[in-house]
Amino acid sequence: MTETVWDLFDLTGRVAIVTGGYGQLGSQMSDALAEAGANVVVAARTYEKCEAKAAELSAEHNEALAVEVDVTDEASVERMVSETTDRFGGIDVLVNNAYGAYGYGDPFEEIDVEDWRRTLEEVVTQTFLCSQTALPAIRESDHGSIINIASHYGVVAPDHRVYGDSDMNNPPTYGAAKAGVIQFTRWLASYLASEGIRVNSISPGGFYNEAFEDVEDYTETFVPEYEYRTPLGRMGDETDMKGIAVYLASEASKWMTGQNVVLDGGWTVW
């Protein structure tokens, strides 16, 4: 019998790790994967926040697990994987979403080389490390999918005119690191294709963040300027990451690998 579209998107019985799983985008993806039926592992540095998010998912959907992890530390990542497999028996989906970027607000000439190194470590190296460490468990799955979170600024350069005096100017550290994630995605997709494990990336555009409303020029300059340059006329909202996360995690995208899906309201089309 041919699977229906509902069958293809169904994640019942799957196990999904979301690093950075309680942040603005991570929380959306954790919600979406749980709503589609998965057992979600909310993994990040602050255990209390992971625990709160996992408790919410467990109450509303399926059993979820909170794991404290430093995604740049090998032993910590190994513990994340072992705690997941001990609780749920395996891993089907890995979402590499956690990141740290440094150098915001600094002129290019004044960015410290250590900020450059730290950003590469917390964006590119952690994506490599989490993927490598989780791979043995993912290989045991019949539905293996790795989803790396990149950025539209890994594809195009920022328009520095939109930032005003907010000191939020996107630094070169961020875009270079996210471009590295996109290339790593392609490499790993090619490497694992013969095993049926799919690897794709999502490159989100700017999402409106209420936490920045008190930042100078955020609502007065940055948001309207950003929206003006976006064909759909708005920033990302509280649900825009949900559909693409479930699509790439599920059998709905079973013939798709090595792709970078730009989710930016059309920012990169012109």
Catalytic residues: 174
What is the spatial distance between Cα 134 and Cα 65, in angstroms, rounded to a whole number? 16
Amino acid at 263: L
Question: For the chain, how many helices (H) and strands (E)?
Answer: 9, 7
Q: What is the rounded distance in angstroms from the CA atom of residue 227 to the CA atom of residue 11?
A: 34
- Between CA 170 and CA 17 the distance in angstroms is 28
Q: With the C-alpha atoms ordered 256, 258, 264, 270, is the resulting torsion angle positive or negative?
A: negative
Give the tokens for residue 265.
């309201």
CA angle 218, 221, 224 (to 5 degrees): 100
**Can you tell me the distance from the alpha carbon of 34 to that of 80, in angstroms, rounded to the nearest whole number?**
19
Give yes or no for a contact between 14 and 138, defined as CB atoms under 8 angstroms apart.
no
DSSP code of residue 252: G
Which among 158, 43, 173 is positioned nearest to 101, based on CA atoms? 173
Sheet holding 260-263, edge to edge: 65-68, 39-44, 15-19, 93-96, 145-149, 198-204, 260-263
